[in-house]
Chains A and B, each alone.
Chain A
Amino acid sequence: MEYSKLNQEQKNIIKELETRKEIVSIKEKSLITFEIIDLGRKIIKPEILKEISSLNLIESLTPAMIKTGGWKGKKFRIYDVESKVPEIYAGKGQFYYNFLKEVRKKLIAMGFEEMEGNLIVSEFWNFDALFQPQFHVAREWTDNYNVKNKLKLEKIENRIISNVKNIHEKKWNYKWSLNKAMNYILRPQGTIMSAKTIASNPKNPGRYFSIARCFRPDVIDAKHLSEFNQVEGIIVADKLTFTNLLDILRTFAKEIAGIKNDKDIRFQSDYYPFTEPSIELDIKHPLFGWIEIGGAGIFRKEVVESLLGKNVTVLAWGLGIDRLAMAKLDIKDIRHLFTDDLKILREK
């Protein structure tokens, strides 16, 4: 509505609403119309006036004109080449997905091969195969999204089930239950795909990665989504070391997070149930100071041996890619990674 046509009472209401966020916005627009008045006609150069009022000017060139040569001897109407034109929008990839594509390119350049998997997984792959005992606090029902449907049980090789059962009962000293392991949850982390890759006789040496949509029952706000993306992977070989893992993490910090100086990369101690040693990767952000961008470690022997049947060294890493994307794309609110504003998508 036009502000100038509002009555005083309406103007007061607008003023009140203006102090609150995102209810009204007032934009100033000016509309200028003009026509040549008599005085103008007098002072304007006669030839231009003639051109303006001439009926002989060509407005647009048509195929017929070109064919017949009808344009010959005539003049084209002059256009204002400096004036603004209406904007058009071409097709574009979503900016966050574009960022993930860049990450993907770098991983491939580093020799990583892609792994894929389902959004729905049985607890077995998420916890049991990753050496997390069934009585563990981290396995609380409320920490993951549980599937309500009665689905038929996932088929898992007997060899793997019995290895996992044995290692749990031996090391954690309790009665392991297959039943509990078969409960379906929404994938809370990408590491499941690494576990499945180890279980299916991976290449040696082998490098694998996945970019996975994951789910956690968080209340959505500027820092949390209940759906997010995780980039993770493994390196499999006989002779791999902790120092190799540090090198990979440093490469990620430089190539993916854009850190130039080694001084701005820091390794901290960390904990994951399936890796030992476990490590946290921090980078120094110019504005926020030290921030954690990833976790990593060497897969425990208990995990590798029960899934693969023998022991090789497996380095595992994961990157908090949403946080990296926010830093790179200058986004303060994590929800904006999945923005539903077409204007922003068209411009970003």
Chain B
Amino acid sequence: MPTIEINKKDFEKLIKRRFNMEKLSSIMNYVKGELEFENKKEDNLKLELKDVNRPDLWSVEGVVRELKHRLGIKKGLIKYSVQKPEKNHLIKVSPKVRKVRPVSVGAIVRNLKLNEEALKQLIQLQEKLCINFGLKRKEAALGVYDFDKIKWPINYTTFRDNEIKFVPLGFSYKMSPSEIIEKHEKGMEYGKLVEGKDYPILIDSEKNVLSMPPIINSDYSGKVTKETRNVFVEVSGFDLRFVLPVLNIFICALIERGGEVEQVLSTGPKRIATPNLESKEILININEINKILGISLTEKEIFNLLEKSGFDYIKDKNGILIKYPCYRYDILDSRDVIEDIAISYGFNNFKPEKFKESTFGCNSKFTEFKYKVKEMMIGLESQEIATFVLTEKDKLFKTMRLKNLDVIEIANPVSLNYSCLRNWLLPSLMEFLGKNKDVEYPQKIFEIGECIEVEKDSFKNLSKLAYVYSGKDVNFTIIKQQLDYLLRSLKINYKTKKLEHASFISGRCGEVIIKKENREISIGFLGEIHPAILEKFNLIMPTVAFEINLNKLV
């Protein structure tokens, strides 16, 4: 979810309306935006945009364009006029870039009137497009150049490190590509995108470097200021699928700032003139609209809502042919148009209606079983606790005097405390006791929680029950009585067998065994917690515990 900064005065100048903060917040719902501001008098606002498939809204120009439609200031599709390219307005793409960064396309925009805020917005849009949509400049990197300094045509080719030097933006002396990658802030950030000995370079016919895509522009032609009137915009990458949307959205934003567009030819990898700002089409059925929305809109009402969404329409014998703008890349299905219709209609103007067909609601059988167990544990005067499934290996094993077992480990943990998934519950309960040693005893606590056991290359998602009883008079008999009560109440026949388990006092620990389909299976264990563990948690009360695997009981 990108968050953009907009200036209220700039916004109001572009949309030619004024709003109070409440109204402004509420209209932002049309662009799926949430406005954040410190106080109502503040002009610099933050707008969080929820739709990651609407990069056309990632600048104030796009937001204004959309709102003009939704507020009825402008109706229907915007028709863009684009001049055909002059013959020498050409990017000659050399076969040498094929393996490095094969695609480069561009556009020329004239007669811009850029102020401080407009420049800020364009830089922001470039950043958001290249980072969020262009996957951190890998798939799309956009550069803006002073058109009047360029001698056409432009060559897009590669150079070796010792063959070229230029002054990058932000520096005052010439540097080689490898120096830029080493020393320039952008070079350090994006240098890994041009690995190898051949550096992609955009260079004009008088050998003035425009840029080293996707890293940095040159200081000579790659600098745009308030005084710049005419610009050349270039986008490089690997695939037109990423490159063209970035170019189109950026150019459409410049048009909102008064720009006039001329196409640029590119030879790579195939001959193409860009930008193409023609509208796109999708066919939609009136019945489908009303059927899914649950209302009965007339044709005329639908047409109005389509205009409010910035679309044109042609009635067709198969339905309505929708014409939608070139900057919309989120329309993949008729449903996407229907959402726009619903947004134009206003979500809060629909009348909610009950779906009356009845269905039978229920817990899963296993959940019912777990609730039954929980009730019995509460009957044993035990307090339920909630702990985390994420933990660390030492807590599961070393603290519990055990050798490490395989558990699910996290490849990218945020903190070491939460770097694996527990395979048993008792360590969480012991930690809990350790944090409550000053609270009144006896303490009886239990948890029913999820655990993951790993065996070789497979895992089991299990629900386990663990119970600890801590107090001065506890012993093995007491814990066995409690487990016995539980299993008897659940009508489960069981027996206990001697078990050596390092978390428990030797000779005072048992394995709990039941018969299932004529086979004896182990469902858990019980015993007196080893004093060496109590010591680790600074506990002075003797403690007994059991843990059983509930999946084995159903």
Contact = CB atoms under 8 A, between A and B. Distances in A.
Interface of A: 87, 89-94, 96-97, 101, 104, 107-116, 118-120, 135-138, 141-142, 145-152, 171-174, 186, 203, 205-207, 213, 215, 217-220, 226-227, 235, 237, 239-244, 246-250, 266-271, 273, 276-279, 298, 300-302, 313, 337-343, 345-346
Contact of A278 (B339, B353, B355, B390): B339
Given A145-B410, A147-B408, A279-B347, A340 B458 contact: no
Given A146-B412, A152-B457, A268-B347, A345 B293 contact: no
Nearest to B457: A152
Given A151-B459, A345-B385, A226 B362 contact: no
A217 B414 contact: yes
Contacts of B294: 241-244
A169 to B, nearest CB: 12
B139 interface: yes
B115 interface: no
A138 B461 CA distance: 26
Interface in B461-515: 461
B335 interface: yes
Contacts of B458: 151-152
A97 to B, nearest CB: 6
A271 B348 contact: no
Contacts of B52: 136-138, 271, 273
Given A141-B412, A243-B294, A244-B353, A338 B241 contact: no
B388 A227 contact: yes
B51 interface: yes
Given A92-B384, A244-B294, A271-B32, A227 B389 contact: yes
A137 B294 CA distance: 34
B32 to A, nearest CB: 5
Contacts of A120: 408, 421, 452, 459, 461
Contact of B444 (A91, A174, A215): A91
A241 B291 contact: yes
Contacts of A298: 292, 335
B38 interface: no
7 contacts: A108-B363, A120-B421, A137-B52, A217-B412, A226-B418, A242-B293, A337-B386
B355 A248 contact: yes
Interface of B: 29-30, 32, 50-54, 132-133, 135, 139, 241, 291-295, 332-333, 335-336, 338-339, 342-343, 347-348, 350-355, 357-364, 366-367, 371, 374, 377-390, 406, 408-415, 418, 421, 431-432, 435-436, 439-440, 443-445, 450, 452, 454, 457-459, 461
A338 B350 contact: no
B454 A119 contact: no
B457 to A, nearest CB: 4
Nearest to B31: A269
B420 to A, nearest CB: 9
Contacts of B415: 219-220
B537 to A, nearest CB: 12
A150 B455 CA distance: 11
B293 A174 contact: no
Contacts of A302: 332-333
Contacts of B384: 91-94, 97, 345
A243 B383 contact: no
Contact of A114 (B364, B406, B418): B364
Contact of B367 (A114, A146, A271): A114
Contacts of B357: 205, 237
Contacts of A239: 291
Contacts of B414: 217-219, 226
Nearest to A108: B361
Nearest to A87: B440
B30 to A, nearest CB: 7
A205 B359 contact: yes
A250 B386 CA distance: 30
Contacts of B333: 171, 276, 300-302
A346 B183 CA distance: 60
A173 B241 CA distance: 8
A279 B348 CA distance: 11
A165 B540 CA distance: 60
Nearest to A143: B412
A261 B40 CA distance: 28
A136 B352 CA distance: 34
A97 B386 contact: yes
A145 B412 contact: yes
A136 B357 CA distance: 38
Contacts of A114: 362-364, 367
Nearest to B363: A114
B410 A276 contact: no
A226 B293 CA distance: 37
A323 B119 CA distance: 40
A220 B380 CA distance: 34
Nearest to B443: A342
A91 B381 contact: yes
A87 B440 CA distance: 9
B357 to A, nearest CB: 5
Contacts of B347: 246, 267-269, 279
B354 to A, nearest CB: 5
Given A118-B461, A207-B361, 16 more contacts: A90-B378, A91-B377, A113-B360, A114-B363, A149-B409, A173-B241, A217-B414, A227-B388, A237-B357, A242-B342, A243-B353, A244-B353, A267-B348, A302-B333, A342-B385, A342-B445
The 7 A-B pairs of least Cβ separation, nearest first, read: A241-B294, A243-B294, A91-B378, A108-B361, A247-B352, A277-B339, A246-B352
B414 to A, nearest CB: 5
B31 to A, nearest CB: 8
A298 to B, nearest CB: 7
Contacts of A149: 406, 408-409, 454, 457, 459
Nearest to A227: B388
Contacts of B378: 90-93
A145 B439 CA distance: 36
B360 A94 contact: no
Contacts of B444: 91
A102 to B, nearest CB: 13
A247 B450 contact: no
Contacts of B50: 269-271
B509 to A, nearest CB: 25
A182 to B, nearest CB: 13
B375 to A, nearest CB: 9
B193 to A, nearest CB: 16
Contacts of A186: 410, 421
A219 B132 CA distance: 22
A119 B451 CA distance: 9
A148 B335 contact: no
Given A104-B363, A242-B293, A341-B436, A92 B383 contact: yes
A269 B32 contact: yes
Contacts of A150: 457
B222 to A, nearest CB: 26
B390 A215 contact: yes
A313 B361 CA distance: 19
